[in-house]
């Protein structure tokens, strides 16, 4: 099936070569179900090309076209594509590695094909001969094929199935568009009114409808009335060519003066700026579609001071330096089901499909337009048993991406944009697959993991999360209503959420290698069903650095086969239904384990047993427990000599440490950080904790029932950070705080029963920062605060500020770096029924000295 484009354009074997290409694609559709959806669309495009073949042959007989060398590049690309198609024929569904390998090669091939077709189009115009008519006819039709491949393999952003042949023309809309009315209204409000933004970036993961929204915007009557014929729609893609973009803009206006070859980039920029200034004399709308991350320099070249210029960018990434991003929301239930019924052609044919079955399948797509369309098309016209099989597979943990190759490729391209310099960002993304679907992932849990897995500083971990958020690979949620001074470095209110399809992408990557070779081993257990590979094989040695086990049901770990995991450094346990859960016996031999995260997604506490197995792990440094009964931990002798940090989130701990036989100083002899967050019935901080003399950081977050700290807290002589937030029953701090000679940060935030600071707080000589926000009853300061010579910052409310003003001159004489930052609140925090309402109070800095 060798295809020679030189011969095609020469008119010698034109019909024969096309027939061979057509037959090859037809053969692939018949024999390989994995890539079938992709090549069905290719075949439909070839069907549109087929009637033109005789016309091209007749045209070439009438015209003399001799510059055949320029077609060799395209000829070479198509030959590579032919070989790739033949290799795809041999890929089997279960062979995830080869499936991913050739899917990636298809993406690369598509990019090369696109470039060659663009060059061919420019060459056809440059010739300025009658031959250009023939070249344009062929290249435009091939361009349609290329646009289809792009829509299917790379963007698939709910693109139109028909692409305009004109330069920079607005594409046609799909037959059905749903859920875009509200986004369209918001875009019009931002762009159309006078004084609106000059550039806006619409961002969302691939396949969410960004291009469709941009198309709908351009075709809106109000938009057309404002910009008339001055609308340009340019597809940018991964490796944009500024030369070609500039040429396309001029050709759309019918100009023949633009150079076909610019001397350099500066030359192209000059022509672009001239275009923007000339066309910007009247309202101009420019759409830059599918702009990839790292294209800031390209967007900068489109910046123009012409007030009537408006630029709409669609991208999977944010570009905050150019505009605030507009996040395109996913579809609501009604719109999702409408799109699903359309894709699955459920209308007159729907009588044999029970409504509850289509509802289950539609809901499984979670409002993701591409997933809805792909799944709907794959089930269109199929027997009800096929629909039922799909639901059963999903209930057992099968992935969308195992069968839907075009969906895989669309999402995969977002990861492909992460080059070698961003390799750690990709690793962080893949780690998110170790948490359950629909789960809120604590940022602090990720910090614990990445600090040990990749030796990253906390700030770098957060920066990586912001990067994932800006690329639409995850959602970073900051639940603080107001960002205030004093919260830097505190991420207790930060969470990561992720669409299930993106999580599936991470899991899919983890499965590309054989089980024993995987970097991440993700095990999901439903009911009593262990994974087949685990039941049938006794893996003596698994190299995974990260092990994730999700349990959905009451399953005794005594049934679990043994595993050897000598390289595992992080273990994540996701629990959903078990009332009791035992750590697997093989944990005892995970010698390199550094981080343990146990997350119960339900708020009722799970009893965790076998905790004593951890005593043998000499490298375990961090433990995070969420909704776990701590009583079960203290029931057996335990010693974790290397443990440095332990975090309790929503854990029942009121009676956990009252047993005199359990000594915390023996169990955690080298502990340096303890975090308590929203632990129910936590009335009093156990005095036994004060024997942990190496603790440097102690945090109480939303411990609303905590009523007292013991006098023994003064024994924590190495304590550097003490923070209490929203402990509304706490009325005072113990006087022994004067013994904390190394304390440099003291936070008492929204602790509205505290009326005074300890009398001898001035003896805490190393104190540098004091956070007193929300302490509305703190009306009197002890004289000893004048002895805080190292104090650099006090954060308080406007009421409290008045107590500090008389002391400022004396404090300034001792430390001229001192600043008082005061906030104004609409009402005192003690008047709020719930201390968490304090986040809703509007705060603003009113004084900074």
> Residues 555-575: pLDDT tens digits?
666 567 788 899 999 999 998
Domain final residue pick, 363, 381, 406: 406
C-alpha distances in angstroms, 691 versus 615, 670, 672, 715? 20, 11, 12, 7
pLDDT at 840 over 80: no
For residues 220 and 292, membership in a common domain is answered with yes
- Stated as kind and residue range, the H or E segment containing 286 is strand 284-291
Q: Are residues 195 and 273 in the same domain?
A: yes
Q: What per-residue confidence (pLDDT) applies to 214?
A: 95
CB burial class (10 A; 0-12, 13-18, 19+) of residue 123? Answer: middle
What's the confidence (pLDDT) of residue 402? 73
Give pLDDT, residue 463.
93
pLDDT over 90 percentage in the chain = 31
Q: Residue 314 domain-assigned?
A: yes
Kindly state whether residue 708 falls inside one of the protein's structural domains.
no
629 falls within a domain: no
Is 390 a member of any domain? yes
pLDDT digits (tens, 9 = 90+) for 177-211: 999 999 999 999 988 876 667 899 999 998 899 99
Query: Does residue 193 sit in the same domain as residue 110?
Result: no
Phi-psi region of 47 (alpha: psi -120 to 50; beta: other; left: phi over 0): alpha
- In the chain, count H helices and then E strands: 26, 25
SS (HEC) of 770-783: EECCCCCCCCECCH
Distance CA(372)–CA(541), nearest Å, equals 40
CA distance 119 to 142: 13
- Is 17 found in the same domain as 112? yes
User: Is the pLDDT at 6 greater than 70, yes or no?
Assistant: no
- Is the same domain home to 26 and 103? yes
Q: Are 199 and 322 in contact (CB under 8 A)?
A: yes
Q: Is residue 603 part of a domain?
A: no
If you average pLDDT over residues 827-845, what whole number do you get? 45
pLDDT at 836 over 60: no
Q: Indicate if 475 and 360 belong to the same structural domain.
A: no
State which of 311, 327, 343 marks the end of a domain. Answer: 327
Q: How confident is the model at residue 319 (pLDDT cuts 50, 70, 90)?
A: very high
Instruction: Kindly state the average pLDDT of the residues 469-477.
Output: 91
Q: Are residues 138 and 241 in the same domain?
A: no
pLDDT in tens, 414-465: 887 787 778 899 999 999 999 988 788 999 999 999 999 999 999 999 999 9
Q: Structure tokens of 304?
A: 């123009």
> Of 467, 501, 535, at which residue does a domain stop?
501
Per the CB < 8 A criterion, the answer to whether 494 and 783 are in contact is no
Length of the chain: 849
> CA-to-CA distance for 650 and 678, rounded, in angstroms?
5
Do 33 and 138 lie in a common domain?
Answer: yes
Indicate if the pLDDT at residue 547 is higher than 90: yes
The per-residue pLDDT for 519 is 93
pTM above 0.75, yes or no: yes
294 and 191 fall within a common domain: yes
Does 67 share its domain with 37? Answer: yes
- Amino acid 104: pLDDT: 66
What's the CATH code of the domain at 392? 1.10.8
Alpha-carbon distances of 11 from 4, 121, 223, 353, 555, rounded to whole Å: 11, 19, 45, 51, 70
Q: Domains in the chain: how many in total?
A: 4
**Which whole number is the average pLDDT over 496-503?**
89
Q: What is the pLDDT of residue 412?
A: 82
What does DSSP assign to residue 493?
T
Same domain for 140 and 230, yes or no, is no
Answer yes or no: is pLDDT of 736 > 90: yes
**Does residue 242 fall inside a structural domain?**
yes
Judge whether 471 lies within some domain: yes
Residue with tokens 């959806």: 37
Could you tell me the pLDDT band of residue 164, with boundaries at 50, 70 and 90? Answer: very low
Long-range Cβ pairs for the range 301-305 (8 Å, 24+): 301/242, 301/269, 301/272, 301/273, 302/199, 302/272, 302/276, 303/199, 304/273, 304/276, 304/277, 304/280
In-domain check, residue 644:
no
List, as own/partner pairs, every contact residues 808-813 make where C-beta atoms lie below 8 angstroms and the sequence separation is at least 24, other chains included: 808/849, 810/786, 811/785, 811/786
Average pLDDT of the residues in 292-299: 88
Domain harbouring 442, CATH code: 1.10.10.10
**Residue 116 lies in domain:** 5-154
What region does 237 belong to: left with phi over 0, alpha with psi -120 to 50, or beta? left
Confidence tier at 413 by pLDDT (50, 70, 90): confident
Are 19 and 135 members of one domain?
A: yes
- Mean pLDDT across 121-143: 44
């Amino acid at each position: 099936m060798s295809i020679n484009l030189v011969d095609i354009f020469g008119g010698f074997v034109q019909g024969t070569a096309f027939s061979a290409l057509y037959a090859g694609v037809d053969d692939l559709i018949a024999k390989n179900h994995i890539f079938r959806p992709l090549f069905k669309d290719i075949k439909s495009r070839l069907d549109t090309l087929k009637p033109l073949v005789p016309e091209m042959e007749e045209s070439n007989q009438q015209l003399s076209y001799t510059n055949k060398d320029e077609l060799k590049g395209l000829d070479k690309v198509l030959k590579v594509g032919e070989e790739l198609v033949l290799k795809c024929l041999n890929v089997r569904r279960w062979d995830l590695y080869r499936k991913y390998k050739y899917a990636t090669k298809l993406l690369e091939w598509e990019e090369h094909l696109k470039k060659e077709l663009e060059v061919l189009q420019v060459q056809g115009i440059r010739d300025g001969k009658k031959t250009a008519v023939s070249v344009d006819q062929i290249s435009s039709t091939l361009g349609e094929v290329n646009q289809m491949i792009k829509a299917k393999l790379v963007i698939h952003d709910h693109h139109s199935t028909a692409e305009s042949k004109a330069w920079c023309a607005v594409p046609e809309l799909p037959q059905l568009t749903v859920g875009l009315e509200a986004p369209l209204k918001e875009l019009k409000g931002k762009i159309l009114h006078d004084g609106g933004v000059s550039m806006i970036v619409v961002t969302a993961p691939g396949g969410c409808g960004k291009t469709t929204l941009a198309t709908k915007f351009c075709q809106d009557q109000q938009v057309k009335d404002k910009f008339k014929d001055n609308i340009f729609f340019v597809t940018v893609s991964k490796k944009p060519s500024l030369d070609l973009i500039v040429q396309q803009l001029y050709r759309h206006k019918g100009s023949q003066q633009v150079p076909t070859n610019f001397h350099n980039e500066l030359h192209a920029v000059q022509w672009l700026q001239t275009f923007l200034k000339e066309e910007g004399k009247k309202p101009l709308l420019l759409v830059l579609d599918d702009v990839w991350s790292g294209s800031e320099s390209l967007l900068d070249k489109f910046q123009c001071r012409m007030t009537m210029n408006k630029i709409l960018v669609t991208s999977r990434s944010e570009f905050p330096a150019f505009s605030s991003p507009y996040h395109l929301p996913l579809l609501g239930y009604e719109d999702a089901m409408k799109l699903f019924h359309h894709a699955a052609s459920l209308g007159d044919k729907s009588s044999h499909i029970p409504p509850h079955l289509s509802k289950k399948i539609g809901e499984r797509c979670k409002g993701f337009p591409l997933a809805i369309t792909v799944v709907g098309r794959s089930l269109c016209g199929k027997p009800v048993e096929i629909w039922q099989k799909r639901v059963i597979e999903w209930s057992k943990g099968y992935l969308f991406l195992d069968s839907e190759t075009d969906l895989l490729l669309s999402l995969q391209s977002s990861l492909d944009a992460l080059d070698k310099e961003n390799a750690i960002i990709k690793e962080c993304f893949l780690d998110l697959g170790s948490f359950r679907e629909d789960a809120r992932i604590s940022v602090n849990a990720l910090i614990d993991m990445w600090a040990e897995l990749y030796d990253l500083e906390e700030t770098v971990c957060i920066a990586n999360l912001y990067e994932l958020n800006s690329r639409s690979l995850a959602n970073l949620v900051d639940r603080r209503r107001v960002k205030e001074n004093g919260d830097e470095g505190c991420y207790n209110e930060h969470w990561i959420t992720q669409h299930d399809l993106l999580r599936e992408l991470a899991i899919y990557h983890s499965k590309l290698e054989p089980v024993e070779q995987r970097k991440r081993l993700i095990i999901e257990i439903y009911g009593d069903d262990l994974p087949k590979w685990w039941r049938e094989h006794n893996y003596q040695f698994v190299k995974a650095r990260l092990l994730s086990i999700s349990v959905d049901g009451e399953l005794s770990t005594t049934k679990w086969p043994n595993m050897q995991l000598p390289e595992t450094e992080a273990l994540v346990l996701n629990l959903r239904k078990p009332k009791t859960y035992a750590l697997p016996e093989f944990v005892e031999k995970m010698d390199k384990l550094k981080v343990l995260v146990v997350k119960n997604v339900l708020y009722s506490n799970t009893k965790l047993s076998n905790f004593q197995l951890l005593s043998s792990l000499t490298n375990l440094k961090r433990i995070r427990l969420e909704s776990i009964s701590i009583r079960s931990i203290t029931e057996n002798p335990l010693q974790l000599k290397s443990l440095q940090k332990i975090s309790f989130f929503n854990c029942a701990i009121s009676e956990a440490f009252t047993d005199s036989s359990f000594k915390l100083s023996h169990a955690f002899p080298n502990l340096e950080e303890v975090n308590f967050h929203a632990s129910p019935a936590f009335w009093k901080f156990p005095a036994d904790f004060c024997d942990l003399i190496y603790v440097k950081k102690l945090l109480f977050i939303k411990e609303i029932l905590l009523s007292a700290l013991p006098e023994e807290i003064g024994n924590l002589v190495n304590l550097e950070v003490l923070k209490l937030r929203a402990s509304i029953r706490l009325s005072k701090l113990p006087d022994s705080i004067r013994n904390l000679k190394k304390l440099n940060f003291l936070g008492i935030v929204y602790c509205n029963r505290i009326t005074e600071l300890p009398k001898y707080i001035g003896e805490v000589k190393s104190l540098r920062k004091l956070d007193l926000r929300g302490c509305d009853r703190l009306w009197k300061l002890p004289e000893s605060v004048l002895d805080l010579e190292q104090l650099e910052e006090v954060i308080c409310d406007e009421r409290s500020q008045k107590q500090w003003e008389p002391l400022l001159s004396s404090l300034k004489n001792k430390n001229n770096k001192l600043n008082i930052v005061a906030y104004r609140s609409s009402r005192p925090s003690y008047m709020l029924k719930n201390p968490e309402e304090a986040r809703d109070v509007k705060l603003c800095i009113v004084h900074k000295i």
